[in-house]
Amino acid sequence: MNHTSHTRAVRFLSGLFYFFSIFIFINAFNFQHNPPGAWRQQFMPEIQGLDIADVVFLDSLTGYAVAKLNYILKTTNGGENWSIIYEDTTTVQFIFARIQFISENEGFAGGFFGLNYGMMKTTDAGQNWSLVNTPTFAEDIFVLSSDTIWLSAPKVSPAEYSAQRMVEHPGKDCGVK
C-alpha cells in the first residue's frame, strides 16, 4: 500500500487529535472535582459554630471578620488561618453586623451591645477595641474618615420595622476619648 505524504499527515493528525481528546476528557473529570482556585469551606470551632456576619480585607493577606455574636477575627495569611482578636466576655453580648477599616490600624465593627447601641473601634490594628456609643443600631456602617461615620439601621418601632434611617456622626474621634 502506497502512503502519500498527505495520508500520513492525516493519520498523524487523527492520532494526535485522538490522544488530545483522551487527555482533555481525563482532565475534565479531575477539574470537575478539584477545580483550581475553587471555594473551600473553613471551620472555626473556637467561635462555637456562629455565622460570620461580615469580612473585609485590607490587602491580599490581612483581613478581618465579625461573627454575629461576640467575636472579631483577624487573618494575616490571606485567610488560611484566623485568630480571635476580640471576644466579648460580658453577660450582655455584642451582636456584630459589619466591620470596616479606613487604614491598616483604624477600624470599626458595628452592631449593638445588649440594650445599648454602639460599635467597637480599634486604632492599633485590632489589638485593643473600645466601645463607641451610637444613637442607633449599626446594621451597616460606612466610615468616611475618623471623624465621619454613616450608620444604616432598621427603624425600631412596633409600627414599622422595614423603614430605614441613616445617621451621620460628625464628632471628633467618634466619641472615643
How confident is the model at residue 37, as a pLDDT?
A: 64
How confident is the model at residue 72, as a pLDDT?
A: 94
How confident is the model at residue 65, as a pLDDT?
A: 94
How confident is the model at residue 61, as a pLDDT?
A: 95
Question: At 121, is the secondary structure helix, strand, or coil?
Answer: strand
**8 A C-beta contact, residue 78 and residue 61:** yes
**What's the pTM value of the predicted model, to 2 decimals?**
0.67
- Rounded CA gap, 45 and 16, in Å? 51
- Rounded CA gap, 24 and 29, in Å? 9
User: Grid coordinates standing for 44?
Assistant: 472555626
Phi-psi group of 103: left, alpha or beta (phi > 0 → left; psi -120 to 50 → alpha; rest → beta): beta
Section 127-143 average pLDDT: 83
